[in-house]
Amino acid sequence: MRDVAYVALGSNVGDRHALLAAARDAMAALPGSRIVAMTEVEETAPLGPVPQGAFLNQMVALETTLEPRALLSALHAIERASGRERRERWGPRTLDLDIVAFAAQRVTDAELVVPHPELPNRDFWQRELAELESTVKS
């Protein structure tokens, strides 16, 4: 099934712009996938209790034939390739890739919940998602 996944990208460690660019390239190279729209990159304050630097954030609309869990696995591989180490919840990271929503699917299991449960708490995700949805539907 072909669907559009809305994927949030974030980075607050290292060359943030280069990490986001490399992530976009890697996502576009996934089997049966292409980026059909993206928001501008913006800087946001970190969320959570851990002191850390500001994030660069962006969201892409990724048209893909990958099933949700296969896409999640591929995104985790892209994170690892960027040097991401999952040490501390809400901690600093080279790259964070989150599936925020799908155009036509919902997922709820132990590994993946879509729409992302943090969507109501992130104004910038809501704004970016609305922007992309209107662009993709046009």
What's the pTM value of the predicted model, to 2 decimals? 0.93
Nearest to 13 by CA among 71, 79, 76: 79
Q: For 49-77, give one letter per residue: b (16+ CB within 10 A) or e.
A: eeebeebbbbbbbbbbebebeebbebbee
| Residue keyed to tokens 């304050």 | 45
pLDDT score for 50: 78
pLDDT score for 47: 81
Q: What is the pLDDT of residues 94-121, one digit of tens each?
A: 899 999 999 999 999 998 999 999 999 9
Q: What is the pLDDT of residues 24-70, one digit of tens each?
A: 999 999 999 999 999 999 999 888 777 788 999 999 999 999 999 99
Which residue did the predictor score with more confidence, 133 or 50? Answer: 133
Residue spans of the domains in the chain: they are 3-137
pLDDT score for 83: 82
Judge whether 13 and 94 are in contact, CB under 8 Å: yes
User: pLDDT band at residue 138, thresholds of 50, 70 and 90?
Assistant: low
Please determine, for residue 88, whether its predicted confidence score (pLDDT) is greater than 80. no
Instruction: Cite the active site residues.
Output: 84, 93, 96, 98
* Domain 3-137, second-level architecture: 2-Layer Sandwich (3.30)
